[in-house]
């Protein structure tokens, strides 16, 4: 069944309510993938990386999560072009900007 003004079939609605993710995250995933389906709720849970304000914030968070900046001097850290970082790592993710949020999902 297709989406009608934010409402889905009963199984999808139930899965959304039972998901640890917020409805906004799951709907952002649906918007990225296309026609909503029940299995996509689980996919959204498995692939969700995070919600950020910008590509820069995501890039910085990703690099920090990897521990790549742990021993980096702050002067060098401030020289990083985070947009360039995003351009390099974006191929491992798909993203969508929705309601002033930047949602990031891993490619499974």
The reported pLDDT for the residue numbered 2 is 40
Check residue 30 and give its pLDDT.
95
- Residue ranges covered by each domain of the chain: 10-106
10-residue stretch averages of pLDDT, the chain, 108 residues long: 62 96 96 92 97 96 93 92 96 94 95
Give the Cβ contact number of residue 41 at 10 Å: 24
| pTM confidence score | 0.85
The dihedral region occupied by 39, where left means phi > 0, alpha psi between -120 and 50, and beta the remainder, is alpha
What is the pLDDT, as a whole number, of residue 6? 59
CA distance 59 to 70: 15
């Amino acid at each position: 069944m297709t989406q009608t003004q934010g409402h889905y079939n009963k199984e999808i609605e139930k899965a959304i309510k039972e998901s640890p993710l917020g409805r906004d995250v799951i709907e952002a995933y649906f918007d990225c993938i296309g026609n909503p389906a029940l299995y996509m709720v689980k996919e959204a849970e498995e692939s969700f990386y995070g919600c950020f304000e910008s590509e820069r914030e995501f890039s910085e968070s990703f690099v920090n999560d990897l521990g790549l900046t742990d021993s980096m001097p702050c002067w060098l850290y401030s020289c990083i072009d985070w947009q360039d970082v995003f351009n390099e790592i974006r191929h491992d993710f798909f993203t969508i900007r929705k309601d002033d949020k930047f949602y990031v999902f891993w490619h499974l």
